Amino acid sequence: MSDLDAFRLETRAWLEENCPKSQRGPVTPDGVIWPGRNQTFPSEDARLWFERMRDKGWTCPDYPAEYAGGGLSPAEEKVLREEMQRLNCCPPLTDQGIGMLGPALLEFGTEEQKAEHLPKIVRGELRWCQGYSEPGAGSDLASLQCKAEDKGDHFLINGTKIWTSYGVESDWIFCLVRTSNDGPKQEGITFILVDMETPGVKVKAIDLISGASEFAQVFFDDVKVPKDHVVGEIHKGWTVAKSLLKHERKMMSELSKGVLGGTVTLPDLAKEYIGCSDEGEITQPLYRDAIAHHEMNMRAIGLTGYRTHQEALARKMDTNVPLIMKYLGTSELQVKDELLVDMMGVRGLGWKDEQFNENEERATRELLFNKALTIAGGTNEIQLNIIAKRALGLPKGPHS
């Protein structure tokens, strides 16, 4: 038996013994385990599951053990993910610090920054949000104007960030700020970490058409931030930002895997709302065709993700693939949303009424909220431009 096979058996046994039954199954919005200074848990089982995984470092299994992570190799981390999927284990912790900031710190952070922040991410002590977009710098992110003025041992930050996911609930924010106007606009940008309890930081929730308020606008008014909070070099934050965006796009490409939290499938819902023949075939051929195309696309996306992971293990991964996967994954998620609501007919207009069941209300809200996913992390239009230029080598058009 190979070492990896032995690790799989040990991991499987540990998960079966330590993952509570209530923490196996689809994750509802109310069941997500978030970190933070004032961390709370949706249930006692959720707390127990988090603490057990935290103590093994498996909230961040691929982080080095010296920073409280699991210290797993890429192959071992893949095995852990597969075994958690086999049992349908809920994520023990969800945060932008895990999949976005953490990898950026491992690549660009100082030893002091890694020692300070990575263990806290693993242990769920702080909740992080991302301060990139501004009212005048969304798709053209390099046009950002949130200013950080050099004051010797610290920066003084003034400006605003918008569409900040979970900004109201977060403890710290990783930001791009303008530290110089000299040279190309990508130059003079600095990547900096800010404690949101610092005087001068204010956060305002943004109400969405889905009825949620997961986005916020963050205001900086003479916010004093020490220079040792800069990640990477001053004026060279664009390099850090581009690396971090790769992780964000990979994370977003994986959002398209579930339907209504994974409780039911599109074929099941089609049979419920449209009907099926005695042989179990969906009665309307147009919906059969649309569902088949969606299922094939999702299968292709999944297989491509698996292939990319294997190539990454062999250090042969095409770095353009996350760009493509983000575009395909989020686009296909919207195809699913629209198909599902269309099949439900008037039942797909549910909001909050006893006449509609939970699936119908969630379908409507997900259709509305998921429109944001082809904007966040780079709009589809910008993604296609990047793919055309970087992945396909196409020339710029006459209006580019």
User: Across residues 365-394, what is the average pLDDT?
Assistant: 82
In the predicted model, is pLDDT for residue 261 greater than 70?
no
Query: Between residues 241 and 220, which one has the greater pLDDT?
Result: 220
By the 8 A CB rule, do 352 and 361 touch? yes
Query: Between residues 255 and 372, which one has the greater pLDDT?
Result: 372
Integer Cα distance of 108 and 97 in angstroms: 15
User: Across residues 128-157, what is the average pLDDT?
Assistant: 92
pTM tops 0.85: no
14: which residues sit within 8 A by CB, 6+ positions away? Answer: none
Integer Cα distance of 87 and 231 in angstroms: 38
By the 8 A CB rule, do 96 and 165 touch? yes
The tens digit of pLDDT for each residue in 342-368 reads: 999 888 888 877 788 878 888 888 888
Residue 383: exposure state from Cβ atoms within 10 A (0-12, 13-18, ≥19): buried
Domains of the chain: 3-94 (1.10.540), 128-236 (2.40.110.10), 258-391 (1.20.140.10)
How much is the pLDDT for 251? 58
Integer Cα distance of 290 and 288 in angstroms: 6
Residues annotated as catalytic are 248
Integer Cα distance of 82 and 68 in angstroms: 22
User: Across residues 275-290, what is the average pLDDT?
Assistant: 87
Closest residue by Cα to residue 125 from 50, 65, 61, 199: 50
Query: Which tokens sit at 230?
Result: 């800069």
In the predicted model, is pLDDT for residue 311 greater than 80?
no
How much is the pLDDT for 397? 61
How much is the pLDDT for 252? 55
Query: Between residues 264 and 75, which one has the greater pLDDT?
Result: 75
Closest residue by Cα to residue 286 from 343, 359, 338, 347: 343
**231 CB-side CA count, 13 A:** 29
DSSP H or E stretch at residue 287: helix 285-313
Q: What percent of the chain clears pLDDT 70, i.e. is strictly above it? A: 93
In the predicted model, is pLDDT for residue 249 greater than 70?
no
The tens digit of pLDDT for each residue in 13-31 reads: 999 999 999 999 877 778 8
User: Across residues 166-193, what is the average pLDDT?
Assistant: 94
